[in-house]
A and B are shown apart, each in its own frame.
Chain A
Amino acid sequence: MAFLHATAKHGSSETKKRSWLPYLLLLPGLVWLFFFFLLPILTLVSTSTKTPGFGIGEFDQTYRFANYWDAIVNSRAQFLRSFEYAGIATVLALAIAYPLAYAIAFKSGRWKNVLLVLVVAPFFTSFILRTIAWKQILGSSGFVNRALIDLHIIGPQTHLTASAFAVVMGLTYNFLPFMTLPLYSSLERIDPRTIEASGDLYANAITTFRKVTLPLSAPGVVAGTLLTFIPAAGDFVNAEILGNPNTKMIGNVINARYLQIVDYPTAAALSFTLMFVILIMVTLYIRKAGTEELV
């Protein structure tokens, strides 16, 4: 918004004519936000306090705010599980993506573009198809399960699919590019001379990484963890395809409330609560991380 003030300050007759231009430029975005963000949110909030009416799918506005409490109490297990799975997946994705992004940014030479395309390549196939593919890779008759059984790493009756392990693995896999790309872009921007300077000042490789590379790539870490954690916490596809009834996440509950039970108020209350909780977590996280560059 800073530039709005900047233009307004001029105050001359010439700029007066132009002062509405920034608003005009913002208009398409504002209209879009109004229709596709603000209106749906308001509808969601208004639905969330309704109670069932006469027929199925009919609800009357009764301002029943207890809907929120009921929904949260009923689904607290899935809420906690969503944050737990998303948290583990985010940490795993960071652990996998950081060395990968580092290698692409600093060590890949002429292979850089090829490697970047490879990171993005999974997006050319549908999210759901890729998740189903994992179901088959990890399935009882798949080679992974068989190899692990033959190597006596897991028992003969163990199956990898329909488990918490498969869900977390699916989340990690599916959101890995969202972690890798921001990390790469902030690592790639690091001026190599800062690393050289660190060496000149007698810092060893570890100290250089700790004092120079890591802090300079922090915006990438923050962006990557947010881009991974937020969609992972709301995901339902991985739990649906790779999980079992004991590994359902909050997304599955919302999906079931909307489409199977046709209980829109509870679904709306859960959606709004999820959004709100994530918003708070993200705000605290960004404050703590203190990266102005992001905002």
Chain B
Amino acid sequence: MSVSSEEFTTASGTSEMMSTPFSRRSLLLGAGGLGAASLIGINGMEAAAAAKPTVRWANWSLYLDYDNKTKKYPTIENFIKKSGYPTKYFEVIDDNDSFTSKVQPQLKLKKDIGYDVVTMTEWMAARWAASGFVQKFDDAAVPNKKNVVPFLANRPFDVGRHISLPYQGIIAGVAWSKKSLPKGIQSLDQLFAKANKGKIEVLSEMRDTIGLVMLWQGTDISKPFTEAKFMNAIDYVTKMIHDGFIRQIKGQSYQEDLISGDATAVIGWSGDINQLNLQNGNQFGFAIPESGGTFATDNLMIPSTSPNKAGAQALINYIYDPMVSAKISNYVTYINCVEGAQAAMEKVNPKQVHNTLIFPDDKMWKNLKIFRDLTPAEQIKFSTAFQKASGNG
């Protein structure tokens, strides 16, 4: 996942979010305390397991189950107990580019970047792999690797999953306010209908917004496509902005506009809509458009500079235990990537077992596409075009 720089949390949602225990954003508001909390969690354990070297995991904010009462991360606590590795958890990633540019100089100098496990979105994970910034798994040390869902078992940048395993998945599709659009939205034709003019918002994540439009225009975004195909989608979005259909291009803050009614139909992320519905009583619908939805994963990897590969592998293997994975999913409500977690969810929270926005069914998997890797030159050219469409030059 990637949160653009325009992210701001509103004051309006504060009170209601504070009361729900498992909203990522509710915790964001207490982020100051969170860093401290993650440190408290470790100190007690360090003495007990001083013999083994520490495992340090860099992750996105509010992306792991957290106990508000004990101010600890149960998954981390249980891992420490089970493995004996002292573990530090850092919520330091809020953007793929800025995190990578921060640690890149040390990676190049082969100096410890301070993390043994990092969590990068796939396109960035591919770039780390291409630059040789990651260590290969010893397959015997990560037996749970076999649990990765078939859809994600082989990715172009990591066939056979030797250097990375997906942590969580994110679907982009269409979402709507049920009050304004009781019939819902099943396709992009319906999203860009006249009735929604001026009330449509789309994501500032290029691969999602342009990806969905390209799929709708009949281009398979997971296979090689030409620049012209990409620009066709850019032209369409530009026209929709110019004609006043698209009101704004936003990161996660589109949620506030859905709540306020300023936006009624959006291109958005499944996990956001899950959490909005938990907080606001099921007012919003989400669907993967008939023409297909986009899918992205955040991937667990071991940086080439990690001095504790064994500990890192133990942690990744632990996260890939179906029961552990189900517990994490019950909290973060993104797409689960571990086979067997759905069955384990029966014991964790039976209400979530059939939530297709955590455990997509086969039909949904078939309708999801992952945006292909872009070369650095394409990356600059395409994102420049997308920013231009967004009005940013």
Contacts and interface: CB of A to CB of B under 8 A. Distances in A.
Interface of A: 52, 54-57, 74-75, 78, 128-129, 132-133, 136, 139-141, 157, 159, 161-162, 240-241, 244-248, 252-253, 255-257, 259-263, 270
Interface stretch (B2-10, B143-151, B181-189): B2-10
Given A52-B377, A161-B262, A262-B97, 15 more contacts: A56-B127, A139-B261, A141-B262, A244-B241, A244-B248, A245-B391, A246-B391, A248-B390, A248-B391, A253-B387, A253-B392, A256-B393, A261-B380, A261-B387, A263-B384
A56 B379 contact: yes
28 contacts: A52-B376, A52-B377, A54-B376, A55-B131, A56-B379, A57-B100, A78-B393, A129-B11, A132-B8, A132-B10, A139-B260, A139-B261, A161-B262, A162-B248, A240-B6, A241-B6, A244-B391, A245-B390, A245-B391, A246-B241, A248-B391, A256-B392, A257-B393, A260-B387, A261-B380, A261-B387, A262-B97, A262-B101
Interface string B219-260: 000000000000000000000011000111100000000001
Interface string B371-382: 000001101100
Contacts, number: 106
Contact of B127 (A55, A75, A246, A257): A55
**Which 5 pairs of residues, A with B, have the shortest CB-CB distance?**
A245-B391, A256-B392, A253-B393, A248-B391, A75-B393
A255 B392 contact: yes
B83 interface: no
Interface residues of B, number: 39
A57 B390 CA distance: 22
B11 A261 contact: no
Nearest to A53: B376
B5 A262 contact: no
Nearest to A129: B11
Contacts of A162: 247-248, 262
B98 interface: yes
Contact of B98 (A129, A140, A253, A259): A259
A245 B389 contact: yes
Nearest to A158: B198
Interface string B92-103: 000101101100
B4 A259 contact: yes
Given A259-B98, A261-B380, A244 B127 contact: no
Nearest to A258: B5
Nearest to A132: B10
A244 B246 CA distance: 9
A31 B247 CA distance: 47
Given A52-B380, A55-B376, A263-B380, A141 B261 contact: yes
A139 B5 CA distance: 22
Nearest to A76: B393
A245 B241 contact: yes
A68 to B, nearest CB: 14
B19 interface: no
Nearest to B12: A136
Contacts of A161: 262
B265 to A, nearest CB: 14
Nearest to A52: B380
A247 to B, nearest CB: 7
A140 B260 contact: yes
Contact of B391 (A55, A241, A252, A270): A252
A53 to B, nearest CB: 9
A259 B205 CA distance: 12
Interface of B: 4-6, 8, 10-12, 95, 97-98, 100-101, 104, 127, 131, 198, 204, 241-242, 246-249, 260-262, 376-377, 379-380, 383-384, 387-393
B5 A259 contact: yes
B198 A256 contact: no
A245 B97 contact: no
Contacts of A57: 97, 100-101, 104
A245 B246 CA distance: 9
B10 A136 contact: yes
Contact of A260 (B4, B246, B262): B4
Nearest to B10: A132
Nearest to B124: A56
Contacts of B384: 261, 263
A272 to B, nearest CB: 15
Contact of A255 (B5, B248, B376, B379): B5
A78 B392 CA distance: 8
A162 B249 CA distance: 11
A248 B248 CA distance: 11
A248 B388 CA distance: 10
Contacts of A157: 198
Contact of B260 (A75, A136, A255, A262): A136
B393 A74 contact: yes
A256 B390 contact: yes
Nearest to A248: B391
A139 B248 CA distance: 14
A248 B100 CA distance: 28
B237 to A, nearest CB: 9
A249 to B, nearest CB: 9
A244 B6 contact: no
Contacts of B383: 260-262
Given A132-B11, A247-B391, A248-B391, A262 B4 contact: no
A261 B374 CA distance: 13
Contacts of B242: 246
B107 to A, nearest CB: 11
A159 B247 CA distance: 10
A31 B201 CA distance: 47
A245 B393 contact: no
B250 to A, nearest CB: 9
B261 A140 contact: yes
